[in-house]
């Protein structure tokens, strides 16, 4: 209760006390008269006045006064609290004041303001924003209903046309903000479709208009270094420990998928560094961009990769001397994230058949894990036998052949004579043939002879075109310097180059 209401109630309370005084006054007169009769001042004016009233009258009046006192003191017990709890006049003031305010706000005529009581001025004057989270089964009409906005206003919004058609597809969990004036009329709607795009509908001079507002993203380069250790034996574990997202870890694995077997060849002591983009909007990280450069030291050998966008606007990763990282064969025909870590950790082959000379590599993975073609080629065999189970053989050019054994199933269209692309799924891990547990047995042959695909010399990837080499060097040199400084590699050679120039 504020001051105006309290004052009102107190005044009413004073009025209620007045009837109490009359009976006490009459009682006093009666007692006083009796007292005077005993005294000597019978000639005083006052006594004469008192004698004009018969004694019986005063007696009756006194009696009446006592009864009245009892009755009246009993009655106010009901009335008093009511008067305190219902300051009716205040409510009336509020209700009449609000329309005055809202009219002045919407018509931009603040002249009516001084007439408002001080108590009301403490109430918020500004328009309000109502945030609405879209519920399952919601649509714009239901939301308008909840906000007590008329169907006519909804129609005005819908009539804005294709600009607002996105409002028909609002999804549960999304948020809309409605700006309403104090009489509940719609002034604006903000709909954040995604972190970048916001639809702004606003009313000006009684008409609505819609337009899209694009947030300006800010790119920040993040640097990270991580180590493969006994406790973090995989790219995934080490990446997570360094605070990398799954997305960046996957991107990193794809950059080096031709050079490093993340499934089988990581060792404690390996390390990696990378520079990647983080996208911020209004100071808030909204997503990650591309890896700009990365360096991976695996079993003592360092692989550098730098992103370069060529004059044809194609972006890819290159070594510092301008060779593409893409090669004819993937290191692992099963993505490392599917290969069981115990297998990786123990560095041993759990399935080793004495009856069959082991001339390949085993990848322990769950049944159904996709098996990828290591390189572009042509399927020569896809069938089943006792030892190999379901298996696929792919011919890559004149010299190279790859074999994939113990599959649970072939991928669609993987038949003799069909061409396949590098990375295409050709089948699924299983335990068909001589296998006691699901795994992929992978073989790599050069001119018909089994070779270790991880050590065999393979043709180098094509370098960047000569015409573009100068542009490439100029573009990568600052990035390369940063990469080498964060990975702590070849500082001596970098320093020497700087001194020489």
- Sites of contact with Zn ion (CB under 5 A): 362, 441
Is-contact 299 291, C-beta < 8 A?
Answer: no
| DSSP assigned state of 161 | G
CB of 329 or CB of 363, closer to Zn ion:
363
CB nearer Zn ion, residue 23 or residue 433: 433
- Could you tell me which of 151, 122, 127, 126 has the C-alpha nearest to residue 139? 151
When the beta carbons of 408 and 475 are compared against Zn ion, the nearer one is 408
Smallest separation (angstroms) from Zn ion to the CB of 348? 12
The first and second tokens of residue 343, run together, are 């297998």
Q: How far is the CB of 358 from Zn ion (least distance, A)?
A: 6
Dihedral over alpha carbons 450, 453, 459, 465 (to 10 degrees):
160
Comparison of 16 and 356: residue with beta carbon closer to Zn ion: 356
Q: What torsion, rounded to 10 degrees, do the Cα atoms 153, 155, 161, 165 define?
A: 90
Number of neighbours of residue 411 by Cβ within 10 angstroms: 18
Q: Provide, rounded to whole angstroms, the least separation between the CB of residue 352 and Zn ion.
A: 7
Shortest distance in whole angstroms from residue 292 CB to Zn ion: 39
Distance of CA 195 to the CA centre of its chain: 9
Residue with smaller CB distance to Zn ion, 80 or 450: 450
- What b-and-e string marks burial along 5-37, b requiring 16 or more CB atoms within 10 Å of the CB? beebbeeeeeeeeeeeeebeebbebbeebeebe
How many CA atoms, within 13 angstroms, populate the side-chain half-sphere of residue 366?
6
Which residue number has the CB closest to Zn ion? Answer: 441
Instruction: Name which of 270 and 362 has its Cβ closer to Zn ion.
Output: 362
Kindly state the smallest distance separating residue 346's Cβ from Zn ion, in Å: 15
Helix (H, G, I), strand (E, B) or coil at 191: strand
Least Cβ distance, residue 362 to Zn ion (angstroms): 4
Q: Cα(first)–Cα(last) distance of the chain, in Å?
A: 82
Q: What angle do CA 312, 316, 322 make, to 5 degrees?
A: 90
Of 315 and 348, nearer to Zn ion (C-beta) is 348
Query: How far apart are CB 302 and Zn ion at their closest, in Å?
Result: 31
Burial group, residue 463, by CB count within 10 angstroms (0-12, 13-18, 19+): middle
CB nearer Zn ion, residue 5 or residue 433 = 433
User: Token pair for residue 319?
Assistant: 């070594």
Beta-strand pair 400-410/439-446: antiparallel
Shortest Cβ 353–Zn ion spacing (Å): 7
């Amino acid at each position: 209760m504020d001051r105006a209401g309290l004052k009102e109630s107190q005044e009413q309370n004073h009025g209620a006390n007045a009837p109490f005084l009359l009976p006490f006054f009459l009682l006093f007169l009666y007692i006083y008269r009796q007292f005077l009769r005993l005294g000597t001042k019978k000639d005083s004016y006052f006594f004469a006045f008192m004698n004009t009233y018969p004694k019986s009258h005063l007696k009756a009046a006194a009696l009446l006064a006592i009864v009245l006192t009892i009755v009246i003191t009993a009655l106010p017990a009901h009335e008093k609290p009511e008067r305190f709890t219902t300051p009716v006049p205040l409510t009336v003031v509020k209700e009449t004041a609000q329309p005055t305010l809202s009219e002045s706000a919407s018509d931009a005529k603040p002249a009516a303001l001084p007439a408002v009581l001080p108590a009301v001025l403490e109430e918020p004057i500004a328009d309000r924003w109502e945030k609405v989270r879209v519920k399952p089964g919601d649509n714009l009409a239901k939301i308008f209903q909840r906000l007590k906005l008329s169907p006519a206003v909804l129609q005005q919004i819908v009539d804005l046309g294709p600009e607002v058609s996105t409002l028909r597809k609002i999804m549960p969990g999304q948020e809309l903000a409605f700006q309403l004036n104090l009489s509940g009329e719609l002034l604006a709607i903000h709909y954040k479709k995604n972190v970048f795009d916001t639809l702004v509908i606003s009313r000006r001079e009684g008409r609505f208009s819609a337009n899209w507002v694009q947030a300006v993203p800010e790119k920040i380069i993040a640097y990270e270094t991580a180590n493969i250790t006994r406790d973090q034996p995989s790219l995934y574990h080490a990446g997570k420990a360094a605070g990398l997202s799954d997305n960046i870890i996957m991107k990193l694995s794809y950059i080096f998928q031709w050079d490093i077997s993340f499934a089988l060849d990581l060792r404690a002591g390996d390390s990696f560094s990378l520079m990647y983009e983080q996208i911020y909007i209004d100071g808030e990280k909204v997503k990650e961009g591309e890896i700009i450069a990365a360096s991976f030291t695996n079993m003592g050998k360092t692989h550098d990769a730098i992103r370069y966008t060529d004059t044809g606007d194609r972006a890819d990763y290159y070594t510092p001397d301008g060779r593409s990282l893409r090669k004819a064969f993937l290191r692992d025909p099963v993505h490392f994230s599917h290969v069981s870590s115990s297998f990786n950790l123990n560095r041993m082959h759990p399935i080793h058949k004495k009856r069959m000379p082991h001339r390949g590599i085993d990848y322990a993975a769950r049944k159904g894990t996709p098996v990828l073609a290591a390189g572009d080629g042509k399927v020569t065999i896809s069938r089943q036998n006792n030892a190999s189970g379901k298996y696929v053989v792919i011919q890559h050019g004149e010299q190279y052949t790859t074999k994939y054994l113990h599959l649970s199933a072939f991928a669609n269209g993987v038949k003799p004579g069909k061409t396949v692309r590098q990375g295409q799924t050709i089948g699924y891990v299983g335990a068909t043939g001589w296998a006691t547990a699901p795994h992929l047995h992978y073989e790599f042959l050069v001119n018909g002879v089994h070779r270790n695909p991880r050590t065999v010399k393979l043709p180098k990837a094509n370098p960047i075109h000569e015409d573009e080499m100068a542009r490439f060097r100029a573009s990568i040199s600052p990035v390369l310097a940063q990469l080498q400084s964060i990975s702590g590699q070849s500082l001596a050679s970098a320093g020497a180059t700087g001194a020489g120039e």
